[in-house]
Structure 1
Amino acid sequence: MMRSVFLIPAAVIVVAVALSSVFIVDERERALVLQFGQVKQEVSQPGLGFKIPFIQEVVTYEDRILGLPTQPIEVTPSDDRRLVVDAFARWRITNLVEFREAVGAGGEAQARMRLDSIITAAIREVLGTVPSTSVLSEDRQSLMNQIRDLARREAAGLGVEVIDVRLTRTDLPVQNLEATFARMRAEREREAADEIGRGNEAAQRVRAAADRSRVEVTSDAQKKAEVIRGEADAERNRIYADAFGKDPEFFAFTRSLTAYERALQGGNTSVVITPDSAFFDYLNGEGGRPAGTPAP
């Protein structure tokens, strides 16, 4: 009975010691076995591993590609036009021993701080040698490759590899935006004024052509109307002449009636003539004929 009382705690201690000597490495990780802070073993394959309990410890690190967004910084290109730039980098740990020696117990968080400084310095160095127009043009890809290569060389001592660097934003500082917008607005207003001027000029040409066409059409119509009117008057005179030739008396009678109609209209006009005037010949006769004129 007494023996079983001692065996159970001993078994528990043995099991605890055995479990503390075993560790598992995930397929997405790599591990370092440390003894009093010194690297004793590097485990790069996933699975079970063993260590000395209570003396050695296991530190795991990501074996995947990691991302690093940088803080926005102000960069002054060669044309002294300041830009606000930030970037996104992809990196991975390539040498665990060098990585541990470089960043110590800070691990990946310390590595991110160091990489942020390296990439920021690379961005300032590369973009400071080119004009701002190159940063905003097709040369942007070449500039990003230069930043990546420079950061890769500087970060090699950390035991990491910078895989890629991408510029995610290249904007003007806030204090320069209003001036830039004002300049852009002035340019657009000037272009609009030019377009309006060209439009008014084209409208004047179209209006002048329309007026000229209207005058030509109106003149041609008036000419044709005068010709038709002259032909009608000639035809009317011919008819009157034929009628006068056939019956001079009837022609004189109709002309007198027309004169009576025009002269005797209502109004304030007064006509003063003698009663024996020839104007009343057709009014004084019997049956509408002048007095003393024999019947035909």
Structure 2
Amino acid sequence: MRAAYLIPAAVLVGAVALSSIFIVDERKKALVLQFGEVKQVINEPGLGFKIPFIQDVFLYEDRILGLPTQPLEVTPLDDRRLVVDAFARWRIVDLEAFRRAVGSGGENAARDNLDKIINAEIREVLGGVPSQSVLSEDRTGLMNQIRDQARAKALGLGVDVIDVRLTRTDLPEQNLESTFGRMRAEREREAADEIGRGNEAAQRVRAAADRSVVEIVSKSRKEAEVIRGEADATRNGIYAEAFGKDPEFFAFTRSLTSYERALQSGNSSMVMKPDSEFFDYLRSEKPPATK
């Protein structure tokens, strides 16, 4: 009978002992609450102990968490509306403050509150600068300013805002078409200007090339005429020297050349006297006397 009572008692004691032990993972932090009051804050991984049935354990993330914000429209100083998306990285740093701020909502409630804080800071910071600053390299400084202001306000939630990045800064859908139209017209105007300047440059190059061609051809023709004249003079000098040695032979060759040019095939006709000097070398084998 005693053994029959000892076994259930041992089982009960074991169950109570096991229910008093909990494990904190290295990726988590833990709060031990007793009737809603914080009794332990456990920031290190390992085994923990609590009073069974009286104390409760709540585990929270110890890792860096991400928060993509909802798209929102902001109006910079130049009244040019922009659609902005952001992404924040945050971490729970104070479990007691976190529990008081979000209650039993945990990380989901913290995300909702943090989303409101970051959106408010985005509107405030970007609303104080022109849209050109948001779309240029100045946005890095603006993101750091949003992070710092959001961090200051998020401390009341027990979290630290590590970083805030603007992932998208676009025009609203209804303004995109008109903006693209203006951009397209501007690019077409620039393209027309470039084409006009290119055609003008091409005309200058073509005119210079044509002028160079004319000058080179003219110079070449001049040099050719000079060379041809000098060659003709040299040839005539050689002919004169050769024909001067034998005038009768000179007269004979001139007559042969005249016959060749005059007596060609065709329909041309010549009418002359038979005793014409043109036929002197055809009429007699003896060449005429030199005059």
Correspondence 1:289 to 2:287: yes
- Aligned equivalents of 1:243, 1:33: Cα separation in 2: 136
Unmatched segments (≥5 aa) in structure 1: none
Distance 1:65 1:235, change over 3 A: closer
Q: Partner residue of 1:87?
A: 86
SS at match of 2:268: coil
Residue deviations 1:228-271 (CA, integer Å, cap 9, x gap): 22223333433444445433333222222222222211111011
Q: Partner residue of 1:199?
A: 198
Distance 1:263 1:108, change over 3 A: same
Distance 1:51 1:238, change over 3 A: closer
Instruction: Give me the TM-score of the superposition, normalised by structure 1.
Output: 0.88
CA RMSD of aligned residues (A): 2.3
1:111 to partner: Cα distance: 0.6
Corresponding letter in the other structure for 1:53: P
Q: Partner residue of 1:78?
A: 77
1:80 to partner: Cα distance: 1.9
Higher mean displacement: 128-137 or 186-195: 186-195
Residue deviations 1:162-221 (CA, integer Å, cap 9, x gap): 222122222233333333333333333333322222222222222222222222222222
SS at match of 2:264: coil
- Aligned equivalents of 1:236, 1:162: Cα separation in 2: 104
- Aligned equivalents of 1:282, 1:95: Cα separation in 2: 137
State percent identity of aligned pairs. Answer: 77
Q: Partner residue of 2:255?
A: 256
Taking the TM superposition and a 5 Å limit, the aligned residue runs for 1:108-127 are 108-127=107-126
SS at match of 2:33: strand
Corresponding letter in the other structure for 1:80: D
1:110 to partner: Cα distance: 0.8
SS at match of 1:166: strand
- Aligned equivalents of 1:19, 1:109: Cα separation in 2: 30
Q: Partner residue of 1:62?
A: 61
- Aligned equivalents of 2:244, 2:90: Cα separation in 1: 122
Taking the TM superposition and a 5 Å limit, the aligned residue runs for 1:119-158 are 119-158=118-157
- Aligned equivalents of 2:166, 2:108: Cα separation in 1: 22
- Aligned equivalents of 2:254, 2:49: Cα separation in 1: 144
Taking the TM superposition and a 5 Å limit, the aligned residue runs for 1:96-107 are 96-107=95-106
Corresponding letter in the other structure for 1:82: R
- Aligned equivalents of 1:91, 1:232: Cα separation in 2: 99
Residue deviations 1:30-67 (CA, integer Å, cap 9, x gap): 22222333333333343333322222211111233322
Instruction: Give me the TM-score of the superposition, normalised by structure 2.
Output: 0.89
SS at match of 2:51: coil
- Aligned equivalents of 1:246, 1:48: Cα separation in 2: 138
1:156 to partner: Cα distance: 2.1
Distance 1:161 1:228, change over 3 A: closer
Corresponding letter in the other structure for 1:118: I
